[in-house]
Amino acid sequence: MGPKTIRIRDVAKAAGVSTATVSRAISNPELLTEATRDVVFEAIRSTGYRVNKAARNLRKRQAGAVLILVPNLGNPFFSQIIAGMSEAFAQRDYSILVADTMGNRSGDDQFMDYFLDSRVDGMICLDGGLTLQDFGQLEANGMAGRVVFACEWVDGASFPSVRSDNVEGARLAVRHLYELGHRKIAHITGPHDNILTGARRQGMVEERTRLGLPVRDEWIIRGDFSLESGREAAEKILKMEERPTAVFCASDQVAFGLISALTANGVRVPEDMSVVGFDDIELSDFYVPALTTIRQDRPALGLKAASLLLDCLNGKTSMIQSAEPVVLDVELVVRQSAARIQ
């Protein structure tokens, strides 16, 4: 039996005041006389009191926690964003629950349970793969205004969101390759139902058209952001009758998979083929060759998403209204994986 728990009542007794006063000392200190406040705080210290969150949450009808929904925790891109968010939430005394959807498109709405069980007050969704049906659910249960999207988003749904300028990122990548003399540029996309896939491909195609580059259907290869899909794409590229001289990949992981397989097949990067990624995860600077890529500002993404959600939860309705997505600038990071065409 551990030391028996100290309730607010015990503190009240020790301080010679009512429980209401103790409660106020904690959450609205300005309501109290300096004298009482001091007495109460002293009592809190001497008893070692800590508020019981379960009781508080029950009474205040809130959970004191937020859910972060990630498509793949194993991907460092996401885990580093989370690291950023966690700070913002910890400061405001929210706990963070993390759930990995594992690309689970089986529509079991598991994330919904967190809301329905009142385990969380809000959610940051890093997974744009939610179906519109899920959204019906969300709104029907009055959870609109408690959800913020980060990185990904859902077309047609008007939740606050923070994202990088994906279209511009793709343009930057293509332009960079163009300036290095490349004309035959391929693209490995993300999964076909992903919203980022669309944005990045769109930017890529637009810029390619604008620059008057040749177009070949087979130069747009379907991937899924994963290492493995980069490897698979490499095989396709090696078999092409007209091989591109450069590839823009929808993620750094894809780029790694691609380079790894190309190298294994005797195609040197960047001498024989230039490669550009997207994300700029930490490893990109340490790959061989160091990866030229588009940087997303992960800390800013996490922080901004966190503060958007906090605003929503604290009734800053102005924020909720502004369904204008927050779009963060991206940046081309030039390293060694893309070179002037030989």
Partner DNA sequence: CCGTCATTTGTAATCGATTACATTTTGTTG
Partner DNA sequence: CAACAAAATGTAATCGATTACAAATGACGG
Binding site for a copy of itself (CB under 8 A): 1-3, 50-55, 57-58, 63-65, 72-76, 78-80, 82-83, 86, 90, 95-100, 102, 110, 114, 116-119, 141-142, 227, 230-231, 253, 256-257, 259-260, 263-264, 282-283, 285-288, 290
Q: Do the beta carbons of residue 11 and residue 20 sit within 8 Å?
A: no
Distance CA 336, CA 128 (A): 32
Q: What is the DSSP string of 185-232?
A: EEEE---TT-HHHHHHHHHHHHHHHHTT----GGGEE---SSHHHHHH
Q: Compute CA distances 308 → 138, 159, 226, 304, whole Å.
A: 18, 11, 29, 6
Report in angstroms how near the CB of residue 121 gets to DNA at its nearest: 14
Closer by beta carbon to DNA, 141 or else 322: 141
Burial of 257 (0-12, 13-18, 19+ CB in 10 A): buried
| Residue 99 binds which of a copy of itself, DNA, none (CB < 5-8 A, kind-dependent) | a copy of itself
Task: Give least dist CB 62 to DNA, A.
Answer: 9
Helix (H) or strand (E) holding 294: strand 292-295
- Check if the beta carbon of residue 259 is closer than 8 Å to that of residue 253: no
Handedness of CA 141, 147, 153, 155 (dihedral sign): positive
Residue placing its CB nearer to DNA in the complex, 20 or 288: 20
Q: Do 204 and 303 form a contact (C-beta atoms < 8 A)?
A: no
CB of 88 to DNA, least distance (A): 22
Q: Is 58 in the site for DNA (CB under 7 A)?
A: yes
3-state SS track over 106-121: CCCCHHHHHHHCCCCC
Out of 1, 35, 156, 324, the residue judged to bind DNA by CB under 7 A: 35
| Binding partner of 317, given DNA, a copy of itself, none, CB within 5-8 angstroms per partner class | none
Rg (CA), the chain: 25
Judged by CB under 7 A, the stretch of 54-62, 67-75, 153-161, 252-260 that binds DNA is 54-62
Q: What does 75 interact with, of a copy of itself, DNA, none (CB < 5 to 8 A by kind)?
A: a copy of itself
Answer for which of 14, 32, 227, 294 binds DNA (CB under 7 A) is: 32
Pick what 100 binds: DNA, a copy of itself, none; C-beta below 5 to 8 Å, kind-dependent: a copy of itself
212 binds, among DNA, a copy of itself, none (CB under 5 to 8 A by kind): none
